Chains A and B, each alone.
Chain A
Amino acid sequence: MKPQANTTASKRIIATISLLSLLSSVTPLHAQERQWRSGEDLYNKVCGYCHKPEVGVGTVIQGRGLPPEYLTIIVRNGFNAMPAFPASYVDDASIVELAKYLANLPAIPPAPAGATP
């Protein structure tokens, strides 16, 4: 299997990452209450439905040390078929907790390329 050719989408993501990394390093997008009890809760109730290793719809994200800034970009923009989530659905603070939770899960050998993130 070959990775999908997503050149335009990748450029768009990279451009947005550059812009939002700058912004998110200065201040949170806006103060708000947490929508999720914990990173584990968010993973189990949303992300994991596609990204858990045993599901196989999206790329495995656990145990990879993905930084919250990166996760925020993907969550807010989506990627290919992955939907985007606004802050009303997944708030910034919960993404930080998600990153911590995922970092503590064991790494899984990469699946064949081609899955949506």
Chain B
Amino acid sequence: MTEANEVVLPRGVSAEEFGKALEKFRALLGDANVLSRPEQLVAYGKIMMPVENAAHAPSAALTATTVEQVQGIVRICNTHKIPIYAISTGRNFGYGSAAPVQRGQVILDLKKMNKIIKVDAEMCYALVEPGVTFQQLYDHINDNKLGLMLSFSAPSAIAGPVGNTMDRGVGYTPYGEHFMMQCGMEVVLANGDVYRTGMGGVQGSNTWQIFKWGYGPTLDGMFTQSNYGITTKMGFWLMPKPPVFKPFEVIFENEEDIVEIVDILRPLRISGTIPNSVVIANILWEAGSAHLRRADYITEPGHTPDSVLRKMQDDTGMGAWNLYAALYGTQEQVDADWRLVAAAFRKLGKGRIVTAEDAGDTQPFKYRAELMSGVPNLQEFGLYNWRGGGGSMWFAPVSEARGSECRKQAALAKRILHKYGLDYVAEFIVAPRDMHHVIDVLYNRTDPEEAKRADACFNELLDEFEKEGYAVYRVNTRFQERVARSYGPVKRDLEHAIKRAVDPNNILAPGRCGIDLATYRKT
């Protein structure tokens, strides 16, 4: 894909006006923190979506280190009507990475705001700035022997808790629903005010990271997957590291087994017998993260036929579906839970159980066990080598945790992906009642024809799933406006009414999650 050479400007802003804003940014932040040359901006424009990088190119990037600087930035943006797109660590791969939702927006890079403000080992919580990475927090907890465990998404080491939670990402431990574990935010509003959610507004309060709800309306959720404020601090709860951790895998041979897997699992999740965000990964997810490559098996273009998938199973011992879960607690608790789990799968009469002792250091068991116990790794990036070429979009519809529903979604997704010559590379992330059905739409982004096909495929996935009453929980920046439409006009009207109230100049990330005062018209 080629890059456009023309000067990038924010939407509706003249070069002269933009120049004035840049001068003010430099006065506020210093020259070193106002980046406008192409070589300074190139890293922010790297995307995995099937459009030119130019479609999401920033006009500039600012790096701030204090809340006061963020307040100053939004004031300048209001004066000059500059749209600003805040990032924390910029590692939202497959969802837009660090690039702005619309071309020309100025990136506010908060990576240098990276203080771990507090980790309370007794109350089991952390309060951090946006630039803190999971690796940084992991090191801090280990160095200080705090006896706590993190939950993170697969790009664990290099991503961070604030960005992941603000996009409502998930992890693999009992604390895997990250927004559920969030407690207390500090948000710079578009008018420059600093708002603290929950108990944070009470002078002298020591319960900001203890009690979520505070008094009156609880607004934390409205700052996630939105553009109503810039989060500059976030609190979240941490799980005490258990004395015993028992990861295990159950391997299933047939694609149709998904029905029974989900139905046997649901009561174990709802009862809390299995406490963590279980994963059920299909053969291609398993193969990609264990370094199998498509070219090892087939060189013909198009989707990988089922006969090849079966051969991969035969060669490697991987299943059509591979369930990963874990037990946590004292030895007595884990032993008791294990008896229940083993009995459930014995009763099912299907599935080969693999324990850590069986698996040793083999992949992908090893990295799955690490993710379920809060140890960072990037092993899952092996998925990108399956087809190669750097294209990836997450298609992540929500499903009931009901076997028949999962089978229906899996079959529908596979049919559409195959129609476009792409593979069904999927996992279900299992909550007690819902599933995040996460599909990595992998394609060769360096091949314009394949990129175009992937784009059309993603559109059809959205359309066909919507016809069945399904919608995604999160999506990359190219499709955010499209997905917002799936959730109905009343929700969108309300979201824009809020936007008009809290950000009338539309300076905060217009277009994020489909919220943009400049383009939205009430139906």
Q: Do residues A86 and B90 form an inter-chain contact, with CB atoms below 8 A? A: yes
Q: Pick from A12-20, A63-71, A95-103 the stretch touching chain B.
A: A12-20
Interface size on B, residues (CB 8 A): 53
Per-position binary interface string of chain B over residues 363-377, scored 1 when its CB falls under 8 Å from any chain A CB and 0 otherwise: 000000000000011
Complex partner residue of A30 from B32, B98, B131, CB under 8 angstroms: B32
A1 touches B135 (CB 8 A): no
Nearest B residue to A41 by beta-carbon distance? B139
A77 and B109 contact, CB distance less than 8 A: no
- Cross-chain contact A83 with B93 (CB below 8 angstroms): yes
Cα A29 to Cα B33 in complex, Å, equals 11
Interface of A is mostly: loop
Write the chain B residue with the least CB distance to A54.
B361
* Contact in complex: B135, A45 (CB < 8 Å): yes
Is B379 close to A, CB under 8 A? yes
**Contact partners of A20 in chain B: CB under 8 A:** 39
Tell me, yes or no, whether B285 is within 8 Å of chain A by CB. no
Q: Any chain A CB within 8 A of the CB of B112?
A: yes
Contacts of B98 in A (CB 8 A): 84, 86
Max chain B C-beta neighbours (<10 A), residue from A49, A82, A83: A83
Interface residues of B in 26-79 (CB under 8 A from A): 31-32, 35, 37, 39-40, 42-46, 48, 61, 63
Q: A29 vs B377: C-alpha distance in the bound complex, in angstroms?
A: 30
Residues of A within 8 A of B392 (CB): 81
The reply to whether the CB of A25 lies closer than 8 angstroms to some CB of chain B is no
Residue of A nearest to B40 (CB): A29
**Contact of B381 with A by CB under 8 A:** yes
Contact B376 A116 (CB under 8 A): no
Chain A residues, CB < 8 A from B388: 4, 6, 80-81, 114, 116
Partner of A76, one of B2, B42, B293: B42
Contacts A57-B378, A81-B381, A88-B109 hold; do A8 and B1 have CB atoms under 8 A apart? yes
**In the complex with contacts A45-B157, A81-B390, A81-B392, A7-B43 CB distance below 8 A:** no
Q: Which 3 pairs across A and B sit closest by C-beta, in order of nearness? A: A81-B384, A80-B390, A84-B46
Write 21 A-B pairs (CB below 8 A) sorted by A numbering: A1-B296, A4-B388, A6-B446, A8-B1, A8-B446, A9-B390, A12-B3, A31-B32, A32-B32, A46-B135, A46-B157, A55-B378, A77-B42, A78-B46, A81-B385, A82-B390, A83-B91, A84-B46, A86-B40, A86-B61, A88-B111
